[in-house]
């Protein structure tokens, strides 16, 4: 079953990327959340770098339930972000253009 990986823009200004799980109305349940952070580029300040950092790093929990009113938008991430996310959480990562057939 494919993971439902999304970017969540919170009212705090944070951007999270996480697997969104089925939940009841008014709540959004997420798993393996990470923050998307913009890092200044010292060589070319006009093109900042993007990185990922831990979210709720002091919690042992991997699943969280958020109040939907604290989320401004839920978006589909670009493929490069999904590939990086899957590599962080043990998903299968296929190289671009790979013609491998795995039984």
- Note down pLDDT in tens along the chain; length 103 residues: 568 999 999 999 999 999 999 998 899 999 999 999 999 888 988 888 999 999 999 999 999 999 999 999 999 999 999 999 999 987 555 555 555 444 4
* Alpha helices (runs of H) in 1-103, residue ranges in sequence order: 79-88
Domain with residue 70: its CATH number is: 2.30.30.100
Residue 102 lies in a domain: no
Number of structural domains, the chain?
Answer: 1
In a domain, 103, yes or no: no
Per-residue pLDDT at 45: 84
* Residue 64, burial from CB neighbour count under 10 angstroms (0-12, 13-18, 19+): middle
Q: Is residue 58 part of a domain?
A: yes
User: How far is the C-alpha of 16 from the C-alpha of 77, rounded, in Å?
Assistant: 10
Q: What is the pLDDT of residue 48?
A: 87
Q: What is the pLDDT of residue 6?
A: 98
Q: Is residue 97 part of a domain?
A: no
């Amino acid at each position: 079953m494919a993971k439902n990986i999304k970017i969540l823009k919170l009212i705090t200004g944070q951007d999270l990327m996480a697997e969104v799980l089925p939940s009841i109305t008014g709540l959004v349940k997420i798993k393996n959340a990470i923050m998307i952070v913009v890092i200044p580029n010292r060589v070319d300040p006009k093109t900042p770098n993007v990185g990922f950092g831990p979210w709720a790093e002091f919690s042992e929990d991997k699943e969280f339930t958020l109040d939907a009113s604290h989320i401004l938008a839920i978006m589909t991430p670009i493929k490069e972000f999904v590939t990086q996310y899957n590599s962080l959480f043990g998903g299968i990562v296929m190289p671009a253009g790979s013609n491998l057939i795995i039984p």
